[in-house]
Chains A and B, each alone.
Chain A
Amino acid sequence: MTLVDTLTLVETPEGISLRLRAAGMMPRAAAWAIDFSLRLVVIWFVSLALAVLGDLGVAIYLIVLFGLFWAYPVLFEVLMDGQTPGKRAVGLRVVNANGTPVGWVPSIVRNLMRTVDMLPICYGFGLVAGFVDAHSRRFGDMVADTLVVHVDHHHGYSSAPNVPAVQSPLLLPAAEQGAIVAFAERTKQLTPERQQELANLLPQLTQARGAVAVQRLLGMASSFLGRH
């Protein structure tokens, strides 16, 4: 059975697995819309600025238009860590299927193939391909062997509160110990009421309710973490 999930695990030469979360068509369309409006604004300003230059201005305008259409995505993707301004705003990144940053050749391929994905109108083929494919790849991504992934936002690491260790009355398997440590590490993000609500779910373990239960759980987390 295949799991319906956009998460891909890629093994690296270092022997670990990178987690890549493929982005769906909705955030990608939003990123595209941002890039598109940005380019419109640029071309509008360029046309104003070049109006004074006459024919030379027209020539520069046409070449800028060419650059904005064909070179803009490639240059940004390769030089700015796989992110056009639109992708950066939405939190997306283009990477090779093996998780490495996208290089010149794959980026050129996936952006040349926009010609096909745009057909017949409004990225029709690209959208259909993206909805069918397990990793939301449009044709350009398939030929270039690239993925558009979500950039993981680093929330900042908070360690579990340092409270005196409490021995657990029950012998807990590793996964359940992990759950209690995770609870302790997340207490700073939870309101006291929510903390108590969660702690109240484990009466056998804490043998208490409310704030005391929270303190006991935090103490157990300390002991699982190896504090004394």
Chain B
Amino acid sequence: MKQDVFQARHEAEWTALERWLDLRARPPAKQRTHDAEGLFGDLDFPAAYRRVCQHLALAQRRGYSVLLIDRLQDLVHRGHLVLYRPHPPRWHAAIQFFAADFPRLVRRHWRSMGVAALLFFGSFVGVVVALQVRPELAHSLFEPAELAKFEAMYDPAQPEAKLGRESGSDVKMFGYYILNNVSIGFRTIAAGFFACIGSVYVLLFNGLFLGGIAGHLTAIGYGGPFWRFVAGHSAPELLAIVISGGAGLQLGMAMLAPGRRSRGRAFVEAGVDMAKLALGVFAMLVFAAFVEAFWSSIGWMPDPVKFSVGGLLWLLIGLWLWRGGRGAAHAA
């Protein structure tokens, strides 16, 4: 078949598809009374697209002109982007993700999570214990000015003051915690890319830093206000740090030990899990920021309430990560 005959025969289909692609975006599909101005229905699009794909293959095989092939290529490319577009986010999928998929994913990477927990809680507890035995070690961890700042924040002699901050209202601190803590969580995850080094560093650094503050304040007798402040948000925040560290470690393992896959393939597979873990970490840290800003800072709350709420959160989040998604019909 000569090019002109071919073109004359199919021109109508091509212009219809072109127009349909132009019109697809406006007005939005939901408000449309009929599909794309009566060209053809949305349901007919895949068939129309596949026919044009076939025309392109024919045109290439028969050596038709470059411009015609370019035009069909362009049409096919636009159709391809529409046909294979990602579906819009669904509430059901989001609930399913947080209720089941995320805890399952954390358990599936239990080795990385275990190592991350060991690095973080190990260094944390180690420093706390060390500072009880030899309090002067605090001066090799922190500058004197830093120590003075921490002491001012948790001074038991000022019971009226807001707990755990120098200044700033609850809502302002909420914004600050979102920006600061979630960014740290995300960076911890990505930092594992180079052979886990970044994630290990962040885990150890945070373990030593937070353990140093906790140990020092406890050693000098300021432990009361401090533990009262951190009890509430400690569970979501610390566990989120551990999970982001674990996510970074599993990403780094794709470089260190890709197993029977190529490194590129291993990275792509680790990347999918990394993104999902990052979403979970994001949710946990937003929750932690909320608790930290609006609950932990309340000074007058009696100790039993503070500590039982903190304990309850540890229990609930622990249960969620341990049992969430067990026995569901399909695996993650």
Contacts and interface: CB of A to CB of B under 8 A. Distances in A.
Given A66-B183, A109-B272, A178-B66, A59 B191 contact: no
Contact of B67 (A103, A144, A157): A157
Interface residues of A, number: 60
A58 interface: yes
Contacts of A226: 1-5
Contacts of B271: 105-106, 109, 113, 143-145
Interface in A207-228: 224-227
Q: How large is the interface on B (under 10, 10 to 19, 20 to 34, 35 or more residues)?
A: 35 or more
Contacts of B7: 159
Given A63-B178, A108-B279, A181 B81 contact: no
Interface string B74-87: 10110011001110
B89 interface: yes
A78 B275 CA distance: 14
B293 to A, nearest CB: 9
B193 interface: yes
B84 A100 contact: yes
Contact of A99 (B49, B71, B80, B178): B80
B80 A158 contact: no
Given A106-B275, A108-B279, A115-B187, 6 more contacts: A18-B76, A55-B168, A100-B80, A185-B65, A224-B3, A225-B2
Interface of A: 12, 14-16, 18-19, 55-56, 58-63, 65-66, 69-70, 78, 81-82, 95, 99-106, 108-109, 112-116, 139, 142-145, 152, 154, 157-160, 174-175, 177-178, 181-182, 185-186, 224-227
Interface of B: 1-5, 7, 49-50, 53-54, 56-57, 63-68, 70-71, 73-74, 76-77, 80-81, 84-86, 89, 168-169, 171-172, 174-176, 178-179, 182-183, 186-187, 189-191, 193-194, 198, 251, 264, 267-268, 270-272, 274-276, 278-279
10 contacts: A12-B53, A15-B53, A19-B77, A55-B171, A106-B271, A109-B272, A112-B189, A113-B190, A226-B1, A226-B4
